Structure 1
């Protein structure tokens, strides 16, 4: 299995590279520090598996990169690595093309199992998160079409990046620089977020971000 690892921490990339290269059936052929680098590495190296952290500030996040990579290189299977066990976030990354979801707190054996599972064409989700995902799917089915539904599903991938930065107090220019987009685009995303979630002020937006644990990302 040819593997690329994307994580914004060099020590994490080095550690995972050692673990995976120690396996007789795995070889790390490249690494990346953010989503843009991950896309470039996949385009150049065409790995079987991309192991990618979902949150890689200040560059492009794994959430945004997942959708782009899956659209352009569908043969590469993506395993999302994250600190957060949130079923709504899990639902969103799977919908955007990831084949698996592993917590950073998981033991090495689980990471290896996840990689082998998705390489063989399966989907890997930790049992605890699988149960949460099933509950979330049932919840979405029951509330489908409800005007009061305020899950992540209403937001685009880019809006999911902009929202926590607004809630953390960053200005439009700072957000634009972090995400490599224009100030005008940031303003447009902010307006769409407020409209989709029926929020009237920044305090309401901050409260929503806290409720959804977005400030931890």
Structure 2
């Protein structure tokens, strides 16, 4: 006789939790070993019962409770299959779950058949990459690639600036003008203009405002500047 698929349900809304339990209990191949209402309870139940599959709500006692529980459980018991339950296809949270090892996600308004199929597919290691998930993955890869390219480009050019140029760029990006920088450093305007000219030439830009365009750029510049000062 084939062993039943042991399923743990973690969902903080009792009626939804009971609905999943009722749906799954109708399937002869599935045994619901427990249903809990918090991420903390999910971790305790997983350790005690060692389920094959967990239906894990993302948002329980905290917005990311399911994400944290997923990470904790899979760190200890990597063979457990975790399916994320979510109301909306929130890309950031869904990808957080996938990065931690979740194998699938199901919308809470999914049909009974979709819920059963998700559980059985996860157990067999056959969770499909549905078209909408594939699109999200491709979109995420494009976003990460663009970010990394931009980050590395910025880092590479910033590394060519002198400490004084880094300082000038940072001050200009935070709102100081050339005259104020001259007064702060007790230097001639020609000195600051020369530094600005050198910075623009290295970045191949016409204006300083075209170089530091995001808060991430500013933080990177500040970090490099701080490290430069520490190593003087």
User: Does TM, normalized by the shorter one, top 0.5?
Assistant: yes
Equivalent residue number for residue 55 of structure 2:
51
- Stretches of structure 2 that go unaligned for 5 or more consecutive residues are 153-214, 220-232
- CA–CA separation in structure 2 for the residues paired with 1:77 and 1:141: 29
Contact 2:58 2:64 in 1 (8 A): no
Match for residue 132 of structure 1? 136
1:118 paired to 2:122:
yes
CA apart distance, 1:126: 4.2
Tell whether 2:20 aligns with 1:16.
yes
Contact kept? 1:35, 1:59, Cα under 8 Å: no
| Structure 2 CA distance for partners of 1:22 and 1:196, relative to 1, 3 Å | farther
Task: Report the secondary structure of 2:101's partner residue.
Answer: coil
The alignment of Structure 1 onto Structure 2 pairs a total of residues equal to 153
> Which of 3, 6, 11 is the aligned partner of 1:7?
11
Distance 2:218 2:115 in 1: 39
Larger RCO: Structure 1 or Structure 2 (Cα < 8 Å, ≥ 6 residues apart)? 1
The ranges of structure 1 where at least 4 consecutive aligned residues each deviate by more than 6 angstroms after the TM superposition are 195-199
What's the Cα RMSD here?
2.5
What is the TM-score with the length of structure 1 in the denominator? 0.64
- Among candidates 95, 99, 113, match of residue 99 of structure 2: 95
TM-score when normalising by structure 2: 0.60
Q: Answer with 1 or 2: which has the greater Rg.
A: 2
Task: Report Cα offsets for 1:9-56 as digits up to 9, x if no partner.
Answer: 111111111100100111101111111100000000000001010000
